[in-house]
Structure 1
Amino acid sequence: MARIANYSPIRNVFVLMLENRSFDHMWGRSGIPGLTVPAPGTSNSYNGTSYPVSSPAPTAMTGDPGHEFADVLEQLAGAGATYPPGGPYPPITMSGFASNYATTTDEDLPPPTADHIGDVMMEFDTPTQMPTSYALATSFAICDHWFCSIPGPTWPNRFFVHGASSAGLEHAPTTAQIVEWETVAGFVLPHGSIYDALTANKLQWRLYNDNTDAYSDNPQNGSLFGALPQVTALKNVTLLEVNSLTHFASDLQGPYPYQYTFIEPNYGDVTSNTYVGGSSQHPMDDIYGGEALIKGVYEAIRNSPLWETSLLIITYDEHGGFYDSVAPPPAAPPADGSGTAYNDTGFAFDLLGVRVPAIVVSPLIAAGTVDHTVYDHTSALATVERLFGFGALTARDAAANDLRHLFTQTTARTDCPTTLPAPVARMGRVLPDGASEAAAAAEDDLPLEDSGNLPAFLATARKAAYDTYATTPQERAIVDEEYAAITTRGEAKAFVARVMAKATLVRDSQPRPAM
């Protein structure tokens, strides 16, 4: 396989992955010529009412649209659709988004009121509501056939961007399944992660996250859970290796020997399942924080000595339950020996998930590029593997299209913007309907749910303790005792507060690598 020096000066690949938005939801009314978007009159119906695609979308939702495997099944194939173990997936009609939003209980939140069911069909007035992203997309490339890796939720899709597999997981993990993870080592991908592969090939990688919640316009409503990077759930990745984005711009000004950099947002208030006060653009949070994060990451790279050798990919882990008009295509199963321990439905991993936004940035890409190539999250891995000359992790990334064909400029462009427009100030409510200090206090008494993001992040916090300050059997026994005693959301918050205070102290006391 050819090394990068044979055809391209790209030396540094950056990936920023945000949360839970579909392509049509964010770009269907952008007005960018050539995009594949819904035809006029497109709609879903529920209970005799038609919900057409319309604009502008609310910048924060009143509820969290469903995105578990069963939710996506209904969204893609309509109400009443079933998936027989092992498949095949039923015929895809893209007809069940409104009905699912109106009825799902998978996100542990009340269903929307009748006047908000149609919100899931709505599209942003992108130039007006998302000026930061719009400027970036029109200055470089927007990909209108980038799909998430499976028709399911956050955790398996994020595992795919790290390892072209989810070890068979197709849903948010349950507490019982989390217990089966190797708690000291972390979540094991059968063929390892991209970080393992880079290390094995004597290449370097680096991780960042928005641990200080520096980009939200509503950080007081976030939580320490939101500062936990999901990547640290993996085997061979620890909290000690995740750097604060507060250092990102300055790090890029010096020597930067890292071929691959992955960046996570702040996830906001994970405890309440609202994710407000973060920078991930999760549906119930305002989009401001994510727009500000995109601006900060781009400008740090653009104004660094690395700019002419850099590639930045900005995408979203999954569609978050929002309507999209393009049916997902078939996919190559990872074929990595993943067992059935984490697979509740018998899903064969032979179908991509819903289309998500993706912007690809490099001075070697022509302004105004609209790319119709089919991608999924493993396309980021395939790009890195083929740029730097090492093999695929699984059959999925081996089959994935990469981004190299977008480098159409023989020399770096000199007209790329050095700054992006500021995000639009918050429009509408700050907190979900009915939120108050009293409601937050009552929420602390709610029982810890058995599956979903909260238990998974809680397990990641325990691993963070192991990776930093609880390194002896006696210290880990104390952490395990505290972890086992958690029964409520308030106790979960208290546990994470203790862990993050100690773990952050250890991490920040470590000498930072010389650049």
Structure 2
Amino acid sequence: MASNITNVFVLMLENRSFDNLLGFSSITGTDAVTGQQTAVDGLTGKESNSYNGVAYTVSQPADQTLPVDPGHEFADAVEQLCGHGATYKSGGSYPPINNSGFVANFADSTSDEEGKAPVQDLAMIMRCYAPSQLPILNTLAREFAVCDRWFSSLPGPTWPNRFFAHAASSKGLDASPNPVTQIAVWDFLGLSFPNGTIFKALDAKADLGNFRWRLYGPGKTTTITTALSGVNASDVKSLDNFAKDVQGSYPWLYTFIEPNYGDILNGSYSGGNSQHPMDGVTAGEALIKQVYEAIRNSPLWETSLLIITWDEHGGFYDHVAPPAAVAPGDTQPKTKPSDTGDEFGLNVNGFTFEQYGIRVPAVVVSPLVPKNTVDHRVYDHSSIPATLQAIYGLAPMTKRDAAANNVLPLLSLSSPRTDTPVTLPQPAQFGNVVTGTPVTAVALPESAPMPASQQGFVLLHAKHDLQTSPPTEHPAIMNRVSSIQTVGQAKQYMQEVGAKAATTPAGAQTGQ
């Protein structure tokens, strides 16, 4: 191993920009590179977007929840970064970025069942949390290292960004998965990548022993990582047992932790802890506290590394223009209907992957990180596999992780600190403090078109359905999934598969 780290943990929440959570944090500290005093690249309070002649300025505090899910698909991000009405030319360069279209897109999202906020709510996309609203995140950001140039891996939604954390690639996927057009690719084996995933790379390294990785998630059919080939429902462990697990013999080198995404059946996302905009931030703060305190009070602490980040911006404003990126190089952009070969992967928008997505928060936690470190170096989610590769002697999977910065330089102390907090503050309890509206989740009508955010979960259920059904039933399953169009149809199918999963023994697979 290339460091003193024996156990790496990653907790990835969802759908928050850096400015939304930490823009008003006013964190100052020591520059990770120069050693000089510095401050995070946050907000001055003067940043604004205009829409229909009205200027909307950033402000604090923010409400607990939003009444609608902001747009955050590929076309939404183009407008948010490049201005209202901006479009991306398939296979071309990304349009000039000025971060001017967040309010306009919140009013007029290009995505079904996302955005379309009424005029009185448009300012919500520019509101950011006060430090007192997020005491847990702010405490960790001051106690360890905060990265203020960690970008999502592409300007787009949750699923492809999460895939970059696992494969330094999304196999060309530049949109949310679509069960109507992609079910044949997501067969019972799961989604495979040209150069594999970090899980397969760890499995293939013979000198790493028999306990290479572990996955904690919300359930058999709702943990996004199980979409990958080689990761199955039987691999998902309950986070309820996490604190107990790390107290004992815990030999797993890498642990990835997914949050609970809440009510995906009805599209309200209520009752989760992922920090989805419609579900609020307090439960996610409690999740961060739970994970940190479990590791901090375990025998693993002195040789552990915890990375906390968010998959993408969720439609929220951020003032920093994301820079150009190195394309993974494992697929080609699809620029015309005849581009159907394997080399185009799951590409939908013809995106070249030469542009990072919108900035997200990231905190690097270890007793080997000096207190109050501020890191201005560029990272993206491929920095996660790049870090694992540096620790465990693995080769890069794509050109993206080969070029990515890893976080090991932040672990610069020769011996573990003894002043790290044993416990964190309690989460702040608050409601919609600005608008005064009730914190009430609103389910989508069952007749509404299935939103992009729900489509991937249908495919997760389909993978489990195929794995636990005889091959003779596979054509009917695939036909049914490819015909799902509405929220109600998706809900019914996921309920049926969920009930089946609840009675299926762990590891049982018949669809082979």
What is the TM-score with the length of structure 1 in the denominator? 0.88
Give the match for residue 189 of structure 2: 185
Give the match for residue 205 of structure 2: 201
**DSSP-derived class of the 2:292 partner:** helix
Give the match for residue 97 of structure 1: 102
Give the Cα separation in 2 of the matches to 1:147 and 1:431: 31
8 Å contact from structure 1 (residues 170, 344) kept in 2: yes
Kindly provide the CA deviation profile for residues 111-153 of structure 1, in whole angstroms up to 9, marking residues without a partner as x: 2121211111111102x10111111111111110000000111
8 Å contact from structure 2 (residues 180, 482) kept in 1: no
- The answer to whether residue 90 in structure 2 is matched with residue 85 in structure 1 is yes
Give the Cα separation in 1 of the matches to 2:491 and 2:157: 23
Deviation at 1:484, TM superposition (A): 6.0
**DSSP-derived class of the 2:150 partner:** coil
Kindly provide the CA deviation profile for residues 440-497 of structure 1, in whole angstroms up to 9, marking residues without a partner as x: 5x823x1552x61222211111212333x32x22454675576467554334323323
- The 1:344–1:182 alpha-carbon spacing in structure 2 relative to 1, beyond 3 Å, is closer
What is the TM-score with the length of structure 2 in the denominator? 0.89
8 Å contact from structure 2 (residues 179, 458) kept in 1: no
Deviation at 1:109, TM superposition (A): 4.1
Give the match for residue 461 of structure 2: 461
Give the Cα separation in 2 of the matches to 1:369 and 1:299: 20
Kindly provide the CA deviation profile for residues 346-366 of structure 1, in whole angstroms up to 9, marking residues without a partner as x: 211001000000011001001
Kindly provide the CA deviation profile for residues 188-227 of structure 1, in whole angstroms up to 9, marking residues without a partner as x: 211111111111113411000134xxxxxxxxxxxx9xx6
- The answer to whether residue 40 in structure 2 is matched with residue 35 in structure 1 is yes
- The 1:255–1:184 alpha-carbon spacing in structure 2 relative to 1, beyond 3 Å, is same
Aligned pair partner of 2:439 in 422, 430, 440: 430
**DSSP-derived class of the 1:13 partner:** strand
Give the match for residue 452 of structure 1: 452
Kindly provide the CA deviation profile for residues 21-53 of structure 1, in whole angstroms up to 9, marking residues without a partner as x: 000111011121201013342111000000011
Give the match for residue 18 of structure 1: 13
Give the Cα separation in 1 of the matches to 2:489 and 2:83: 39
8 Å contact from structure 1 (residues 107, 273) kept in 2: no
Unaligned runs of 5+ in 2: 29-38, 333-342, 433-437
- The answer to whether residue 59 in structure 2 is matched with residue 51 in structure 1 is no
8 Å contact from structure 1 (residues 269, 278) kept in 2: yes
Give the match for residue 390 of structure 1: 394
Written as runs of structure 1 = structure 2, the 5 A alignment for 1:268-283 is 268-283=262-277
Give the Cα separation in 2 of the matches to 1:481 and 1:320: 31
Give the Cα separation in 1 of the matches to 2:290 and 2:503: 25
- The 1:477–1:85 alpha-carbon spacing in structure 2 relative to 1, beyond 3 Å, is closer
Mean Cα deviation higher: 490-499 or 384-393 = 490-499
8 Å contact from structure 2 (residues 184, 478) kept in 1: no
Question: Which structure carries more helix by proportion?
Answer: 1
- Percent identity, aligned pairs only, is 48
Deviation at 1:398, TM superposition (A): 0.4
8 Å contact from structure 1 (residues 78, 95) kept in 2: yes
**DSSP-derived class of the 2:504 partner:** helix
The alignment yields a C-alpha RMSD, in angstroms, of 2.0
Deviation at 1:79, TM superposition (A): 1.6
Give the Cα separation in 1 of the matches to 2:368 and 2:324: 30
Give the match for residue 385 of structure 2: 381
- The answer to whether residue 308 in structure 2 is matched with residue 299 in structure 1 is no
Mean Cα deviation higher: 480-489 or 376-385 = 480-489
* Letter matched to residue 430 of structure 1: V
**DSSP-derived class of the 1:180 partner:** coil
- The answer to whether residue 218 in structure 2 is matched with residue 210 in structure 1 is yes
Aligned pair partner of 2:247 in 245, 253, 258: 253
Unaligned runs of 5+ in 1: 212-223, 511-515
Deviation at 1:332, TM superposition (A): 0.7
- The 1:507–1:419 alpha-carbon spacing in structure 2 relative to 1, beyond 3 Å, is farther
Mean Cα deviation higher: 144-153 or 60-69 = 60-69
Give the match for residue 336 of structure 1: 330
Mean Cα deviation higher: 173-182 or 60-69 = 173-182
Deviation at 1:13, TM superposition (A): 0.6
Give the Cα separation in 2 of the matches to 1:25 and 1:299: 25
Mean Cα deviation higher: 91-100 or 495-504 = 495-504
8 Å contact from structure 1 (residues 54, 123) kept in 2: yes
**DSSP-derived class of the 2:380 partner:** coil
Give the match for residue 240 of structure 1: 234
Deviation at 1:426, TM superposition (A): 4.1
Aligned pair partner of 1:267 in 261, 265, 269: 261
- The answer to whether residue 423 in structure 2 is matched with residue 419 in structure 1 is yes
* Letter matched to residue 207 of structure 1: L
Kindly provide the CA deviation profile for residues 269-295 of structure 1, in whole angstroms up to 9, marking residues without a partner as x: 223333121110011111111111111
Written as runs of structure 1 = structure 2, the 5 A alignment for 1:124-203 is 124-126=129-131, 128-202=132-206, 203=208
Give the Cα separation in 2 of the matches to 1:509 and 1:401: 36
8 Å contact from structure 2 (residues 81, 102) kept in 1: yes
Deviation at 1:89, TM superposition (A): 1.1
